Amino acid sequence: MKVKNYLFQAIDWIVLDTILKKDTTKDIWDAMKKKFEGNARFKRSHLQALYKEFETLEMRSGEGVTEYFSRVMTVANKMRIYGEDMQDVKVVEKIVFSLIEKFNYVVCSIEESKDIDVLTVDELQSSLIVHEHKFQRCNGEE
């Protein structure tokens, strides 16, 4: 009864109405798990949609490095939530190969000087931000 009481206190009123008829705490827990976790088919379909979104991501013209990294990491983190083993190296490769043309020489120098397999997302982002600031400074001087 104590556990049931704690669950009722922690649950939102809207959800509470749907589980009030459950007799045991296990029934309550299973109903909530099913409601919020979803079934395997839902997870799989949502993960497939996220795969498609991840594969089609590209940096937009005029978009900043920080904004692009934020978009990519949002999708990658959603995929991780749904159980996908999204390695940093996959995210780094995605970002490196989907940057706009003005970063081509930066990408070449990163590929030559660093091993992309061990490059972290944060290292890549900081390197690209430095080059982005140089672009902005050069354009401001012109």
Percent of the chain predicted with pLDDT > 90: 35
Q: Within this chain, do residues 7 and 76 fall inside the same structural domain, yes or no?
A: no
Q: Within this chain, do residues 113 and 132 fall inside the same structural domain, yes or no?
A: yes
Q: Within this chain, do residues 69 and 120 fall inside the same structural domain, yes or no?
A: yes
Asked if residue 70 has pLDDT above 50, the reply is yes
Rounded Cα gap, residues 69 and 125, in angstroms: 7
**Is the Cβ–Cβ distance between 130 and 110 less than 8 Å?**
no
Q: Within this chain, do residues 33 and 51 fall inside the same structural domain, yes or no?
A: no
Asked if residue 15 has pLDDT above 90, the reply is no
Range of the domain at 53: 40-141
Three-state secondary structure of the chain: CHHHHHHHHHCCHHHHHHHCCCCCHHHHHHHHHHHHHCCHHHHHHHHHHHHHHHHHCCCCCCCCHHHHHHHHHHHHHHHHHCCCCCCHHHHHHHHHCCCCHHHHHHHHHHHHHCCCCCCCHHHHHHHHHHHHHHHHHHHHHC
Q: Within this chain, do residues 29 and 84 fall inside the same structural domain, yes or no?
A: no
Q: Within this chain, do residues 22 and 51 fall inside the same structural domain, yes or no?
A: no
Q: Within this chain, do residues 109 and 126 fall inside the same structural domain, yes or no?
A: yes
Over residues 81-108, the pLDDT tens digits come to 888 888 999 999 999 999 998 888 888 8
Q: What is the pLDDT of residue 141?
A: 53
**b/e 7-39 (16+ beta carbons within 10 angstroms → b):** beeebeeeeeeebeebeeeeebeeebeeeeeee
Q: Within this chain, do residues 20 and 87 fall inside the same structural domain, yes or no?
A: no
What is the pLDDT averaged over residues 26-53? 81
